[in-house]
Structure 1
Amino acid sequence: MARETFGVQNVVARIYDPGRAEIYQRLGIPTVATVKWTSDQMLRRLLPVGAAGLYRDPSGQVILAEMPVVEAWVGRSMEQIQAASGVRVAFLTRLGEGVVPEARTLLQDGDILHVLGTRDTLLTAQGVLDSAPGQD
């Protein structure tokens, strides 16, 4: 409301409901959330366990997920990762910045993949990306 009604550019929201916090963040509004949500975010980044769903389309068929990748994939191109995993790399986070990669963009150490796929393709992709290339 502050942004749209009063033209305030720099806003932040205090959120108690984790579901709303994620919605506000998708709208570009930084949030300060509850302990539960914050600890969940910390654990997801410290102890990645499978693909973490970030968005699901209204039909529930297409999922945008943050997907951990073993170090053996570092130096591989997005084209190679997509071909092997069966999911599309929507973007990656590199040094805290979102990057829309090209097919020839190479995965670097510390990159976080954000992929699009169905539930089944994400499960298959996680199995592929949890092992070294060519060992799935």
Structure 2
Amino acid sequence: MSLSLRIAVIDDDDEIRLALDDLLSSFSHVVKCYADGSAFLEDQGEFQPDMIVTDYHMPGITGIETIRRLRASGNSTPVILITAFANETARKEAIGVGCLALLKKPFDPNELIRLIEGAAGSCPPHHA
């Protein structure tokens, strides 16, 4: 992929964050990782992502609540939600907050890359 995106990764699992950082960075994306939704929301003035990949279940502010707060503030950044518990409730909530996709952990890394590449056309490139 030739388009470099700024991607926020939000997950309370250190191994998942590191794996996603490595994967997305290998495709020349600029990645910033957060251990929870609060840390991401507090950093909004500093890092403006083109796309967000967030876990659904996290202590404190969940991925869904993080997205709700973004949407309430007028932020329409595309979001891919990931979860180990992809049930009908999670799917409905993901659709309700306008997520691009809900991926069940463990997911195929190629599927995540395909989703990001597919959405990249709707993401304006950042300018460093």
TM-score range, shorter chain: under 0.3
Structure number with greater Rg is: 1
Report 1 or 2 for greater relative contact order, CA contacts < 8 Å, sequence distance ≥ 6. Answer: 2
- TM-score w.r.t. length of structure 2: 0.25
